[in-house]
Amino acid sequence: MQVEPEKLAIIHYPHPALRRECRPIQTIDESVVAVAQRMLELMHESGGVGLAAPQVALDWRLFVANPTGESKDDRIFINPRLSEPSTETEPHEEGCLSIPSVTGQIMRPRAITVTAQDELGQAFTLRSDELAARIWQHETDHLDGVLILDRMNRMDKMANRRALQELEAAFKM
């Protein structure tokens, strides 16, 4: 698929691309790197800490993340896999750039390991029990077509009902 990175933009719920399971990236070439760089730009412009390919309407197993906001901490995750979740879980408020004005307490494992490839095709493995762990889990959910709405408790769903209805009413394909 031919992609023009400069035309990529963050899509909003209920866009169907947010519900698709993504396919692995077979070849890491300059177009993949250009898309990842554009995603980092969009993430920073929007004040986010992570952005997954489905959020720019691509069905690629790719996300970008930066838990600190410092450009030196920008990281690209190609074909990520999560493993070794801690048995200890904790709730934390999460939002999503594709679901503006909606937040909820999301329960996730406190620590997780991610294995992925970088923009040079080099494999790496990281483990965290801090914000990065939550970001990796949130963004990997996107790659599987899972949204924070699917992980919210009933009270959070009720509290966000009006915002979701407004997003649904505003949606145009």
Reply yes or no: is the peptide bond before residue 80 cis, omega within 30 of 0: no
Task: Verify whether residue 6 is a known catalytic residue.
Answer: no
- Residues 6+ away with beta carbon under 8 Å from 70: none
Distance of CA 124 to the CA centre of its chain: 19
Distance of CA 40 to the CA centre of its chain: 11
**Per annotation, catalytic residue among 41, 45, 139, 166:** 139
29 vs 26, 32, 57, 92, 135, CA distance in Å? Answer: 9, 5, 19, 36, 25
* Active site (catalytic) residues: 139
